Structure 1
Amino acid sequence: MVREYSISEATSADAEAIASLFGLSWTSPLSRLMFGDGGSHALTTAIAPQIARQMMKPNVLYLVARHAATNDVVAVAQWTLPAEDWGATSESQQDQGERQELEDEIYAKSLPPGSNTELVMDFTVGLRTLKLQLLHGQKHYSLDNLATHPEHRGQRLASRLIEWILQRADKEKTPVYLETGTDNAARRMYERLGFQERGVYCMKDLGQFASKQRLEECGGLSTHTHVAFVREARGEGRA
């Protein structure tokens, strides 16, 4: 299996393939409620340019698994790197707030057509607040997105994409952070890799963002809970 796939950093030429993987993976009831029912092709078309722009940022890293026979991108992990890794300078609290407000505005405008912008932004801000409460600004790696093509699942590709960063984080004695839904089967993989649950973010009334009919169309969704996981750095000699 190892010889059939290779792990490498993505390039801008991979943006559409990565967007396609996300489109195939974002099929949960919450994803449908957030991004609509336009289908994976529409989502791919909308987010591919955004991914290409993100790749230009020094604090964003896309790792991909390629199939050796075709060189196709079949799995991807999107990472945000620690501030010290990309030469970030200190900002005042006011500057940070203004920058974040601008980034949120740009993100909201870049969402695919048909997205529930209010829900997406409330969810985004809620998870950001949870991370701040748990890490208190501590230097860390953040796993922001993870996807594997359905035809290549069961090959440990997601684990390998995470382990690539875990080795780096251990050398730097830096924790790794991620969030996932309580209904995500990948939780078992995260726990196996050493991640521990640290906190939860619960949206208790999705009815404030969508009609009852729309909630029924998305599987009768009424609440949603996301779990935050942290893996502390492991030193030499530890399991």
Structure 2
Amino acid sequence: MQPKYTIRPATPQDAPHLAHINITAFEPTPFWRNLFPNLDRTATYPLKLARTLTKLVDGGASHLLVAADPATGRVVGYARWTLPGPSGPPSPSLSLADLPPEHAHLVTTFRRDGDAALPPGTNRAVHRHFWGELDRLKAKYLREGDFVLEFLATLPEAQGQGVASALLRWGLARADACNARVYLEATAEGYPVYRKYGWRDLEVLELDFAALGGRAERQRWVVMMREGPGGESLGGGGGGVGVGVKN
């Protein structure tokens, strides 16, 4: 029986599709509305494309996986896993020379400018506070050998069709093979799926956007950890944990 979705490493050719999925999945959320107030896709797309391409080129412990329809090849979801040490296959080796010139320029500019690459009109207070909180939480809960699910998103029309489960199983099989814990920060939409696969709550992160110069609304994320199959784990193979940008 043919699998419903093919899970494979992302390629530079996938990057525009992944940027589109990122925006489509998160654009309706309070976080997006307050981080990018009154900004349309023409403003946010270059940033998301640059981040995706940079993750692909930098590789290392970061693994970008796509879920594709085996009949059409259409990419309907993707995930970014951070794996410690030798816990998984190495990310495909890419360099700027492997990218079209316009995409290589995006990566070079993003690496050089950092936060200055944010589109004009970004609420920088929301940006600083959110990613500062993510760094604080990772420092609090992560230890050597932990896996991290940094990102998972699917197209709305593909939700409820097993895309997220297929992307989760890729990383969980590798984590379970070395009895490693898996950390993530869950949105309300993803929370039931993560509970189903064994994650448990650690802490709630809540942003009050009005206090950060935004609208009078809030959003919550649940910080979660999934223990290895042996219970309380000493982590997987050696090496540090790379912690990247959630969105």
Q: Scaled by the length of structure 2, what TM-score is found?
A: 0.76
Please, which moves more after superposition, 161-170 or 148-157? 148-157
Percent identity of paired positions between Structure 1 and Structure 2: 30
1:153 is the counterpart of 2:159: yes
Q: Distance in 2 between matches of 1:72 and 1:65?
A: 8
| Residues 125 and 106 of structure 1, relative CA distance in 2, 3 Å threshold | farther
1:111 is the counterpart of 2:118: yes
Q: Distance in 2 between matches of 1:224 and 1:49?
A: 26
| Residues 207 and 190 of structure 1, relative CA distance in 2, 3 Å threshold | same
1:176 is the counterpart of 2:182: yes
1:134 is the counterpart of 2:135: no
1:51-200 aligned at under 5 Å gives the runs 51-57=52-58, 58-83=60-85, 106-135=113-142, 137-181=143-187, 184-200=188-204
Q: Distance in 2 between matches of 1:67 and 1:119?
A: 36
Q: Distance in 2 between matches of 1:177 and 1:106?
A: 29
User: Which 5+ residue runs of structure 2 have no aligned equivalent?
Assistant: 91-109, 232-247
Does the 8 Å contact 1:20/1:40 carry over to 2?
Answer: no
Please, which moves more after superposition, 50-59 or 103-112? 103-112
1:104 deviates by: 10
Q: Report how many residues are paired.
A: 209
Q: Which runs of 4+ in 1 moved over 4 A?
A: 83-87, 103-106
Q: Could you list the per-position Cα deviations for residues 45-87 of structure 1 after superposition, in whole angstroms to 9, with x for gaps in the alignment? A: 3311221111122121111101122212110011222255599
Q: Distance in 2 between matches of 1:4 and 1:130?
A: 35
1:166 deviates by: 0.2
AA aligned opposite 1:225: R
Question: What is aligned with 2:17?
Answer: 17
Q: Distance in 2 between matches of 1:105 and 1:132?
A: 26
AA aligned opposite 2:134: L
Please, which moves more after superposition, 226-235 or 157-166? 226-235
1:6 deviates by: 0.7
1:193 deviates by: 0.3
Q: Could you list the per-position Cα deviations for residues 167-193 of structure 1 after superposition, in whole angstroms to 9, with x for gaps in the alignment? A: 000112211110023xx1221110000
Q: Quick one: higher RCO (CA 8 Å, sep 6+), 1 or 2?
A: 2
What is the RMSD of the two structures over their aligned residues, measured on CA atoms?
2.6
Q: Scaled by the length of structure 1, what TM-score is found?
A: 0.78
Q: Distance in 1 between matches of 2:38 and 2:65?
A: 28
Q: Distance in 1 between matches of 2:204 and 2:43?
A: 31
User: Which 5+ residue runs of structure 1 have no aligned equivalent?
Assistant: 88-102
AA aligned opposite 2:47: A
AA aligned opposite 1:192: K
Q: Could you list the per-position Cα deviations for residues 7-51 of structure 1 after superposition, in whole angstroms to 9, with x for gaps in the alignment? A: 111011111100000010112012110123323454223311221
Q: Could you list the per-position Cα deviations for residues 129-180 of structure 1 after superposition, in whole angstroms to 9, with x for gaps in the alignment? A: 1121122x33211111111111211111011101110000011221111002
Q: Could you list the per-position Cα deviations for residues 181-217 of structure 1 after superposition, in whole angstroms to 9, with x for gaps in the alignment? A: 3xx12211100000000122233x433321xxx51xx
1:105 deviates by: 8.9
Q: Which has the higher helix share?
A: 1
Q: Distance in 2 between matches of 1:25 and 1:169?
A: 26
